[in-house]
Amino acid sequence: MEVKDFIGTCIDDGFAWKEGENEGVNGYFVGSEKYDTVTHFTPEAIENNEWPVLRKQVVQGRDVYHITRIVGYFSRIENWNKSKLGELKERHEGDYKVK
């Protein structure tokens, strides 16, 4: 993959990027706020790999669905609004010990 295509694909997929040096090696940092990750790629790594391989390095296995069970059914929570996520967090903080 060419570097310019790599940068365009990063932007299209919602990843932030910037050129920079890591341990004396020039390359590109790619970060994901959603997955809370940052990865450094050398130009050689970009040129020698396709996007799916590079994307896996950025995501670092954190692209899993989060599912919760409420009122007898399972629901994916990725598209929930802020209020609904707050309600879920409060449920997890409850005191459910048997006395």
Q: Which domain holds residue 38?
A: 3-59
Residues 54 and 21 in one domain: yes
The pLDDT of residue 71: 65
Tell whether the model's pLDDT for residue 96 goes beyond 70.
no
Q: In what order do the strands lie in the sheet with 37-41?
A: 16-22, 25-32, 37-41
Q: What confidence tens digit (pLDDT) does each residue in 36-94 have?
A: 999 999 999 999 999 999 999 999 988 777 777 766 777 788 788 999 888 888 877 76
Helices (H), 13-93: 43-47, 51-59, 82-92
Number of separate domains in the chain: 2
Residues 74 and 45 in one domain: no
